[in-house]
Structure 1
Amino acid sequence: MTQWLPLTEIGPSTHLDDHLPWTIYSSPEPHDIHQGKLGDCWLMAALALITERPQMLQHILLTKNVNQEGVYVVRICHNGIWKAVLLDECFPCTIDNRLVYSRAARRQLYVPLIEKACAKLFGSYASLEGGSTAEGLQLLTGAPCDRINLHPSNEMLDFDIIWAKLLSACESKLLIGASTGCSETNRSEYKLVGLNPNHAFTVLVAKALPVGDGRFLLVRDPHGTTDYSEALITPSIRTYLHSIHNKMANSSGTFWITWLSFLHYFDSITISTYVSNHFDIREEAQFTRSPIESVPAYYFTVSKTSLITVSLVYHRHSRKNNNRHTQSFVLCDVEEKTSNVGTKQVIFESRRGTLTYWSGSLRPGAYVIIPFSVSFWKTSNDRKDERTTNYTLVIHSNIRLDGVLLNEPPTLLTDCLIAATIKYCNQPKKTHSSVLYTTPRRFDASLIVVENQLINHYLTFNMTITEGGSICHSRHTFRTSDCVPPRHRQLICILEWVHQRDEVAYMSYVTSQQVTEGWHHAIPAIAIDQGDLHSPRPF
């Protein structure tokens, strides 16, 4: 970059555009987008997907026409909140007066405008270096994405289930991206079949036919440079597929690929959950910093069986921050007469990083969602934690929802987490006097609950973590001793996996218990009189 220039002084990208005036957009196509000298292909790939649906650009570009004032407003979803970003008409340019960074063919301004809006939100153009298509789609749609790694190192995938997801997503007309770059496939093989490695594509169609492999995908290269073909897709098969999807199959940069070849050459799929006619609710709140603070709880009512997506978005100050925390939320039904929670429906989600989400359906009824993260809990001896605790709770649904955000005692979260632990526990450990419930390791937070089934005696429950690394303990100790009253349950602790210098989180523990006549203080102490999250709860 050598200079900032206004539109009137910026030259065309090619001589073909010499005679064209600047427009915000004019019949935009994915192949109009050119990345420029900035490593933000993640944003350009997301924008190419958005350009497949030009009506979506109307929601992002609030200024519809180039104007003499040189003032433009772009709408970006930043940290889960839609923000109107005010921009002037100046852009970084080369010495020969051409745009340095992104541009669009035919002097369309929407690509550099959206890139500049993101740069302003995150502090600079340099801050846009590196990212994922999922992040780009979240900025442009305000909805989370389901990213599927097709070549995980430590997990066996069921490709039939993934195919079913793709079919469903295509039928629902969701935005679907896919990326090449599988490390098991070398560059020469990509070149041989006409595919670009480390490149972002759009999946347009998934189709099953009773021939050959039987599964085919119509994929678009937004740059229009792919020349892919394979012998398994015979002229007769291609003709038949084209006859069904003639309009999309004949558009620029598209090609058919078999499912097995797709799995070989592509390493990930990104499916946006955005649906244009869904409603959304966005509530800002803060994670608590101790087990005795009131918890933000969002109550809402579902009038009929509905599709729901819940997202928990942490507020990042910078894209470059290494966010080491785990964040979770629990969703429970609320009984109208008794206010009991989790008797019919319990959803628990927990993930490391800045986005946690769940999609599914909810039946008619009253519900509560409580986000939490013990990664921000500190003792009096800890240094001051400068990290923000702000987050946005986002709910997308196919019907309007009525709701309210209230501050509630932490024991409401306790009751929800106990219900979640009982639901998700695969193998409760039972004795004549107790039941031990734990959540499975697939979550990035572990919940441990003990139940005293005795009617007249107390239960002393001891837990010692014998080995552990990169974990955060809700009680700030690896050794606890608790006295659980008769017919009570207690959330012993919450354990969260945290990122720590790229170390792997691990933990093992032992427990012991004994029946006692009387009560004794917990170690470490629990502030029961202040509604401590770890307080025993009757059942």
Structure 2
Amino acid sequence: MVRQVMITRDVCPEGAYQVRLCHDGRWQTILIDDLLPCDRYRRLVYSQAAHRQLWVPFIEKAVAKMYGCYESLVAGRAVEGLSILTGAPCDTLELEMDGREPLDEDLVWAQLLSSRMAGFLMGASCGGGANNTITDRAYQAVGLRPRHAYSIMDVQAVPSVAGGKGSGHRLVRLRNPWGRFSWRGDWSDESSLWTPALRSQLQPNGATDGVFWMCFGDVCKYFDSIDICKVRQNWHECRIEGKFPATGALTDDLTVILVTVTEPTEVELCLYQSGHRSSAHDSHSHHKLDLFVAVFGFNGLVGRLVCESKRQVKSFVSCHEILEPGVYAVVTISFNHWHNGVSDCPPYLLAIHSSKIMLTERVSPPRYIIADCLIGLALARGRKHECSEGITAYYLTKHWSGLVVMVENRHPTTYAQVICNCMDSVNVVSTRSTLKTADSIPPLHRQIVIVLTHLEGTGGMIIHYQLTHRATHQRSLNDWGNNGVMSGLEGSRDSEHIPVLDNSVRELHSPRPL
């Protein structure tokens, strides 16, 4: 990996060195000189390497130049550094849950074992999660450093001394990059749990300062996430730049990537946004977007959902699937900039990694592509609620960083009228510019009623929604109009939608035929 990053590998008499890095999904070659910040004792101020090797401070200087200054490198996670150095798809396993569902430790352990077998790079973040309740003093008491990243060097399932079916220990070997401060709990270097046989197997060269073993249960307790960088040999990659539309209106910037697969192919898709750490004074540098990428079957229209990423307010999101031969549409979506003062179209980059060669093509999408994608997503992943005979609501919240409400009217002759009230939600932005809407959905149609998005990823979010519905033969909202329960919002008694669907949102929120 170092050889791929350091293009200039020999000492340059002119003091010029080239470093190849992946910046927001784009490969760049950074030219630096050999002047490094030092203190008055001529010691390097920032990163240092053993045996006075220069590649570490050179790479650090290239990253600092890429982001504007050394100050821009403060804080961050292991996954960010791995992505910059490798350009490979990365994934994060969250160990801190929000309380709505328990952590599936068996699933996480299986992912760790499979990642180790595949030779992927792994790291763990300690004590930096939003839901962390362990104090800094408690971390230091067990030899860990809070808000710190550790390398995962090995993962082993070993039998217990007692033996027996299903018994054993799940052990993780970690390294503190500082080369000091080691774990002091169970399975530490001085732990009594070690047998001579196990110590010979897992510590053949004895204990090493800064390198230690922990049981997986303690990893889940003290660490908030595990990052996996999927570096593979002999894979293919394609990187495609694009822009998110500033609103829901169809523009030349809204594109879809068609992928043609001729044989079963494993694929990883990564969607990156630009400028999340940049110090430049541009319109996107201080506003992090919500990101979402999904793959659908395609035959001129959006087909079944194949795979999708989580929708998150992060620097990048990813998804993975094995595609059978066929044609697929890759759709990229972001919403939280629509009504947030961002007037131009934020850029993104889509990286497609594949085990076999595929054909990719950028095409102009069908007019209602985003609405049809969200409808397909709600049908496949949403929580279904039968409001009344012929009227069904779908609520999409899990892994969505917000809310999608889709209502389906299967009545052949009557309209389904719904009020969606999300007024008690906090730190979200609505695609309809308001948190309370009313709509009249024609017979045999579906409609995306509202999309809420986490506005600021660093703050908490509360989603609260209430749906009121009725079936009627009247097309207009009548008593739900301006002088009724929706008074104060743009619309009238004769309206079919309050607020009115203008050009900025019509293609997302217009009713679609079943």
- TM bucket (normalised to shorter chain) is 0.7 to 0.9
Q: Once the 2 structures are TM-superposed, how far is the Cα of residue 304 of structure 1 from its aligned partner?
A: 2.8
The answer to whether structure 1 residue 259 and structure 2 residue 259 are counterparts is no
Match of 2:73 among 121, 124, 128: 128
The answer to whether structure 1 residue 89 and structure 2 residue 34 are counterparts is yes
* Secondary structure class of the residue paired with 1:533: helix
Q: Relative to 1, partners in 2 of residues 1:74 and 1:450: Cα closer, same or farther, differing over 3 Å? A: same
Mean Cα deviation higher: 258-267 or 92-101: 258-267
Which amino acid counterpart does residue 104 of structure 1 have in structure 2? A
Q: What residue in structure 1 maps to residue 165 of structure 2?
A: none
Q: Once the 2 structures are TM-superposed, how far is the Cα of residue 390 of structure 1 from its aligned partner?
A: 1.0
Q: What residue in structure 2 maps to residue 141 of structure 1?
A: 86
Q: Distance in 2 between matches of 1:73 and 1:240?
A: 42
Q: Distance in 2 between matches of 1:183 and 1:524?
A: 43
Q: What residue in structure 2 maps to residue 209 of structure 1?
A: 158
Match of 2:497 among 509, 516, 522: 522
Q: Check whether the contact 1:315–1:388 (CA below 8 A) recurs between aligned residues.
A: no
Q: Alpha-carbon deviations, 1:27-77, whole Å to 9, x = none?
A: xxxxxxxxxxxxxxxxxxxxxxxxxxxxx1121111121112222111111
Q: Check whether the contact 2:437–2:498 (CA below 8 A) recurs between aligned residues.
A: yes
TM-score normalised by L of structure 1: 0.79
Q: Distance in 1 between matches of 2:200 and 2:67?
A: 47
Q: What residue in structure 2 maps to residue 13 of structure 1?
A: none
Q: Map 1:162-311; keep pairs closer than 5 Å.
A: 162-181=108-127, 184=134, 187=137, 199-212=148-161, 213-225=168-180, 228-229=188-189, 230-241=191-202, 254-294=211-251, 295-311=254-270
Q: Distance in 2 between matches of 1:454 and 1:84?
A: 60
* Secondary structure class of the residue paired with 1:375: coil
TM-score normalised by L of structure 2: 0.82
Q: Once the 2 structures are TM-superposed, how far is the Cα of residue 415 of structure 1 from its aligned partner?
A: 1.1
Q: Check whether the contact 1:325–1:352 (CA below 8 A) recurs between aligned residues.
A: yes
Which amino acid counterpart does residue 328 of structure 1 have in structure 2? F
* Secondary structure class of the residue paired with 1:131: coil
Which amino acid counterpart does residue 365 of structure 1 have in structure 2? G
Q: What residue in structure 2 maps to residue 68 of structure 1?
A: 13
Q: Distance in 1 between matches of 2:136 and 2:506?
A: 59
Q: Once the 2 structures are TM-superposed, how far is the Cα of residue 187 of structure 1 from its aligned partner?
A: 4.8
Match of 2:298 among 334, 337, 343: 334
The answer to whether structure 1 residue 484 and structure 2 residue 459 are counterparts is no
Q: Alpha-carbon deviations, 1:127-172, whole Å to 9, x = none?
A: 1111111111111122343333434463521222221111111111
Q: Once the 2 structures are TM-superposed, how far is the Cα of residue 324 of structure 1 from its aligned partner?
A: 4.8
Q: Distance in 2 between matches of 1:466 and 1:531?
A: 22
Over aligned residue pairs, what C-alpha RMSD do you find? 3.0
Mean Cα deviation higher: 173-182 or 56-65: 173-182
Q: Distance in 1 between matches of 2:295 and 2:350?
A: 12
* Secondary structure class of the residue paired with 1:423: helix
Q: Distance in 1 between matches of 2:136 and 2:418?
A: 55
* Secondary structure class of the residue paired with 1:84: strand
Q: Alpha-carbon deviations, 1:244-303, whole Å to 9, x = none?
A: xx69x8988644433344445544422223324332221111111122223221111223
Q: Once the 2 structures are TM-superposed, how far is the Cα of residue 94 of structure 1 from its aligned partner?
A: 2.5
Which runs of 5 or more structure 1 residues have no equivalent in the other structure? Answer: 1-55
Q: Distance in 1 between matches of 2:180 and 2:229?
A: 25
Q: Check whether the contact 2:172–2:214 (CA below 8 A) recurs between aligned residues.
A: yes
Q: Once the 2 structures are TM-superposed, how far is the Cα of residue 86 of structure 1 from its aligned partner?
A: 1.2
Q: Once the 2 structures are TM-superposed, how far is the Cα of residue 526 of structure 1 from its aligned partner?
A: 2.7
Which amino acid counterpart does residue 510 of structure 2 have in structure 1? S
Q: Check whether the contact 1:474–1:495 (CA below 8 A) recurs between aligned residues.
A: yes
Q: What residue in structure 2 maps to residue 59 of structure 1?
A: 4
Q: Once the 2 structures are TM-superposed, how far is the Cα of residue 499 of structure 1 from its aligned partner?
A: 1.6
Q: Distance in 2 between matches of 1:408 and 1:110?
A: 46
* Secondary structure class of the residue paired with 1:103: coil
Which amino acid counterpart does residue 445 of structure 1 have in structure 2? G
Q: Check whether the contact 2:269–2:351 (CA below 8 A) recurs between aligned residues.
A: yes
Q: Once the 2 structures are TM-superposed, how far is the Cα of residue 119 of structure 1 from its aligned partner?
A: 0.7
* Secondary structure class of the residue paired with 1:476: coil
Q: Relative to 1, partners in 2 of residues 1:91 and 1:473: Cα closer, same or farther, differing over 3 Å? A: same
Which runs of 5 or more structure 2 residues have no equivalent in the other structure? Answer: 162-167, 183-187, 280-284, 477-494
Q: What residue in structure 1 maps to residue 374 of structure 2?
A: 417
Which amino acid counterpart does residue 304 of structure 1 have in structure 2? E
Q: Map 1:332-481; keep pairs closer than 5 Å.
A: 332-335=296-299, 339-343=300-304, 345=306, 347=308, 349-378=310-339, 384-385=341-342, 389-481=346-438
Q: Alpha-carbon deviations, 1:210-237, whole Å to 9, x = none?
A: 2144222333344443564121121122
Q: Distance in 2 between matches of 1:528 and 1:130?
A: 41
Q: What residue in structure 2 maps to residue 538 of structure 1?
A: 513
Q: Distance in 2 between matches of 1:268 and 1:85?
A: 31
Q: Relative to 1, partners in 2 of residues 1:346 and 1:357: Cα closer, same or farther, differing over 3 Å? A: closer
Count of aligned pairs between the two proteins:
472
Q: Relative to 1, partners in 2 of residues 1:267 and 1:494: Cα closer, same or farther, differing over 3 Å? A: closer
Q: Distance in 2 between matches of 1:73 and 1:452?
A: 60
Q: Distance in 1 between matches of 2:436 and 2:140?
A: 54
Identity, in percent, stands at 30
Q: Relative to 1, partners in 2 of residues 1:142 and 1:189: Cα closer, same or farther, differing over 3 Å? A: closer
Q: Once the 2 structures are TM-superposed, how far is the Cα of residue 114 of structure 1 from its aligned partner?
A: 0.7
Q: Distance in 1 between matches of 2:173 and 2:248?
A: 52
Q: Distance in 1 between matches of 2:442 and 2:504?
A: 15
Higher share of residues assigned helix:
1
* Secondary structure class of the residue paired with 2:8: coil
Q: Alpha-carbon deviations, 1:350-381, whole Å to 9, x = none?
A: 11233222223332221112212221213xxx
Q: Check whether the contact 2:139–2:146 (CA below 8 A) recurs between aligned residues.
A: no
